[in-house]
Homo-oligomer: A and B are copies of this chain.
Amino acid sequence: MDKVNVAEKFALFDEKWAPKIVGELNGQYVKLVKVQGEFVWHSHQAEDELFLVLRGRLRMRFREREILIDPGEFVIVPRGTEHCPVADEEVHVLLLEPKTTLNTGSAGGERTRQAEWI
């Protein structure tokens, strides 16, 4: 058990859309991800997902609307809800989701990444 410095962890990688695991509790992972550009539309059948923005502005698109999430703000996407994260600039996000969650959820495809510990 040691503390985790979030900025130090972000400095360890540059790849976008590839979440890294930095903590584990109660069957969930705490992950960090850098994103830029547009992801894929997807949902997670049985997993709620928290996005806490730490740098930049995240545009979380839903089918009916879009939410702009700035540093110090978070959104929880409920299970089963289609969403597509978009970032006009580089955005740093802290994620919280079950250990089973894949980044592309129901969509799968070439942008799927297995998260690894850093």
User: Is B5 a contact partner of A76 (Cβ separation < 8 A)?
Assistant: no
Comparing A33-41, A67-75, A106-114, the segment that makes contact with chain B is A67-75
Oligomeric state, in copies: 2
- Interface flag for A6 (CB, 8 Å): yes
User: Is A1 a contact partner of B77 (Cβ separation < 8 A)?
Assistant: yes
Chain B positions within 8 Å of A69 at CB level: 3
- Interface flag for A102 (CB, 8 Å): no
- Interface flag for A78 (CB, 8 Å): yes
Give the contacting residue for A74; candidates B6, B62, B74; CB below 8 A. B6
1/0 contact trace for A72-112 toward B, CB 8 Å?
11111110010000000000000011100000000000000
- Interface flag for A30 (CB, 8 Å): yes
Chain B positions within 8 Å of A27 at CB level: 26
Chain B positions within 8 Å of A77 at CB level: 1
* Closest chain B residue to A72, Cβ basis: B6
User: Is B75 a contact partner of A1 (Cβ separation < 8 A)?
Assistant: yes
**Given contacts A26-B98, A28-B26, is CB(A6)–CB(B49) below 8 Å?**
no
Q: Which residues of A contact B (CB under 8 A)?
A: 1-7, 23-28, 30, 47-50, 62, 67-70, 72-78, 81, 96-98
